[in-house]
Structure 1
Amino acid sequence: MASSSVGRTTDPGRPPDREYSVAAAGTILMAGVIMIIAGAFHILQGLVALFDDQFYVVGTEYIYRFDVTSWGWTHLIGGVLLVFGGAALFRGAVWARILAVVLASLSAVMNFMWLPYYPLWGALIIVLDVVIIWAVLAHPRDLRTRGPF
């Protein structure tokens, strides 16, 4: 039985579309806020690496090793991109969601490579990046199916 009221789906067992859009907006809002916070963390990492080269110390047992100043610039630029991406995510546009997944994925890879310098901080940012990716990809509006299948 199809319902003719506005905001209702054709399946009587499904909640109204309005509930999907509220949950979707909350998920995207959460991802945007976390993205801005992760970007701010990146900016802080970058500024610390730029202003004090001796703050981060790396052990000798890691295969890859990078200059701390170049990491500082990388984190600073990545942080600014994450903040702008998080702000764009508030629009809820598909391009902003794609950008959010790409930037959070790059941030996770960058922080994985940052683990030798500051393991706890890098792991925290990786967790935030995974939460961002989950929140953007688990958008309830996209989980609905149209038709009988």
Structure 2
Amino acid sequence: MSSTLHSHSERTQAAAGGLTLFAAVMMMVVGFVDVFRGIMGIVHDPVFVHTPDYVFKFSLAGWGWIHLLLGIAALMVGVGLFKVSLWARILGVVVAALLLLVNFLSIPYYPLWSIVAIALCAFVIWGLCVVRTDDSTRA
């Protein structure tokens, strides 16, 4: 019985480590792309769609700064996730949720990437929320 519990614990830890690594990589990808998207918005790249009658009206540079700052935060949290620390997991969920919300609000400006980023952020949140440490599986 002890060896069965021990092998189950090892498999659980391996799965948890894999999901955290997955979330860290996805967080880094979203962070890098949002940094570039922020820079594109700040310099008014013509790739963005102009939407004059949008309810959440910010200037394109305003959206650019928001994406740039959240992208930098995502990169920093992504680095922290490689250490599999609890603070990085909590901050990862918060930053991914903020990125998800910001990408939802900026769908009219850049629809395709916004939808892709929403999906990536949802996977990050899922990956960070299903991870259980060894202590919580024994309860």
TM-score after normalising by structure 1: 0.84
Which of residues 11, 27, 47 in structure 2 aligns to 1:19? 11
* SS of residue paired to 1:92: coil
**Which structure exhibits the higher relative contact order, with contacts defined as CA atoms closer than 8 Å and separated by 6 or more residues?**
2
Where in structure 2 are there 5+ consecutive unaligned residues?
A: none
Where in structure 1 are there 5+ consecutive unaligned residues?
A: none
2:94 aligned with 1:83: no
Task: Please give the residue correspondences for 1:47-126 in structure 2 after superposition, counting only pairs within 5 Å.
Answer: 47-126=39-118
Note the C-alpha offset of 1:53. Answer: 4.9
Alpha-carbon displacement from aligned partner over 1:74-111 (angstroms, at most 9, x marks no partner): 11111010011011011111111000000000000011
Alpha-carbon distance between aligned partners in 2 of 1:60 and 1:72, rounded to the nearest angstrom: 17
Larger C-alpha radius of gyration, 1 or 2? 1
8 Å CA contact 2:44–2:60 kept in 1: the answer is no
Moved more, 49-58 or 28-37: 49-58
8 Å CA contact 2:96–2:121 kept in 1: the answer is yes
**2:137 aligned residue:** 144
Alpha-carbon distance between aligned partners in 2 of 1:75 and 1:64, rounded to the nearest angstrom: 15
Instruction: Give % identity.
Output: 33
* RMSD between aligned residues: 1.9
After the TM superposition, list the runs of 4 or more consecutive aligned residues in structure 1 that deviate by more than 4 angstroms.
Answer: none
Alpha-carbon distance between aligned partners in 2 of 1:70 and 1:61, rounded to the nearest angstrom: 16
Which letter does structure 1 place at the counterpart of 2:128?
V
Note the C-alpha offset of 1:145. Answer: 4.6
In the alignment of these two chains, the number of paired residues is 138
Alpha-carbon distance between aligned partners in 2 of 1:105 and 1:91, rounded to the nearest angstrom: 21
